């Protein structure tokens, strides 16, 4: 998830890539990472900078973006790097506007069904057999515990897999870009992309509608995805998300 960017001194790498041009901070993530828009219009680039953190790797995101771009629209990787304290990823702009920015934020009756359809298209497009990564409950619990997180949800409690897909890994509303008249045109923040039960994504996408659009939009998202609500799987994967 993301938050407004507080006043700050941009890291030196921002000036290096912007070459004195426009550099606007647009997002701040929970790890203290900031994404900057460099330039404007269709030639704009985006620089994601964040402190080194075991929870998220910019290098891992770059590799996943390069793979996913063979099958769906997502930001093209232009460069990446790191120093002793931080890492960064430079991408080209992708088509569309985040689902939590006007006009999409205030038209959930259009936006939420589009998110459900867009998530389904992502799952249908990415080939499970050739995906190099997994995002199973076992992976996620083990990773969280390695980081020192006290996880009260176990992989043994996971429901039987309904349908394995390549999951987005952070299917929250801000990570879908929409274009008129209201369809998902690109996907961003794919750093946790990997094979898992489709409900691992559906549950989080549905839960995210509460945070971004208010109550009552979970069922419309699931319906637009094209399945009936499976409350047991929804509950488990929402608890797993919160725990890890």
User: Which pTM does this prediction carry?
Assistant: 0.92
Q: Annotated binding residue at 175?
A: yes
| Banded model confidence at residue 1, pLDDT cuts 50, 70, 90 | very low
Encode pLDDT of 121-153 as tens digits: 999 999 999 999 999 999 999 999 998 899 999
- The mean predicted confidence, pLDDT, of the chain is 95
Going by the DSSP 8-state scheme, the letter that residue 112 receives in this structure is: H
Question: What is the per-residue burial (b if ≥16 Cβ within 10 Å, else e) of 95-107?
Answer: ebbbbbeeebbee
Q: Which residues are catalytic?
A: 170
Q: What is the mean pLDDT of residues 209-214?
A: 98
- Can you give the pLDDT at residue 232? 98
| Banded model confidence at residue 41, pLDDT cuts 50, 70, 90 | confident
Q: Annotated binding residue at 197?
A: no
Q: List, in order of start, the domains of the chain with CATH numbers.
A: 2-92 (3.30.200.20), 97-243 (3.90.1200.10)
- The residue assigned the tokens 């964040």 is 50
């Amino acid at each position: 998830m993301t938050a407004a960017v507080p006043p700050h001194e941009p890291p030196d790498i921002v000036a290096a890539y912007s070459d004195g041009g426009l550099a606007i901070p647009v997002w701040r993530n929970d790890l203290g990472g900031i994404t900057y828009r460099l330039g404007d219009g269709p030639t704009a680039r985006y620089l994601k900078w964040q402190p080194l953190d075991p929870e998220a790797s910019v290098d891992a995101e770059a590799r996943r973006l390069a793979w996913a771009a063979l099958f769906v629209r997502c930001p093209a990787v232009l460069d990446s790097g790191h120093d002793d304290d931080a890492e960064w990823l430079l991408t080209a702009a992708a088509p569309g506007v985040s689902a939590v920015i006007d006009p999409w934020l205030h038209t959930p009756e259009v936006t939420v069904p589009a998110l459900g359809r867009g998530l389904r298209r992502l799952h249908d497009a990415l080939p499970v057999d050739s995906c190099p990564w997994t995002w199973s409950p076992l992976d996620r619990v083990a990773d969280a515990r390695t980081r020192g997180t006290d996880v009260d949800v176990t992989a043994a409690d996971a429901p039987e897999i309904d349908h394995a897909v390549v999951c987005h890994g952070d299917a929250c509303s801000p990570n879908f870009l929409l274009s008129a008249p209201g369809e998902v045109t690109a996907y961003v923040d794919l750093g946790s992309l990997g094979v898992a039960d489709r409900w691992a994504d559906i549950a989080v996408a549905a839960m995210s509608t509460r945070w971004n659009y208010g109550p009552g939009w979970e069922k419309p998202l699931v319906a637009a995805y094209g399945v009936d609500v499976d409350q047991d799987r929804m509950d488990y994967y929402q608890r797993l998300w919160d725990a890890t």
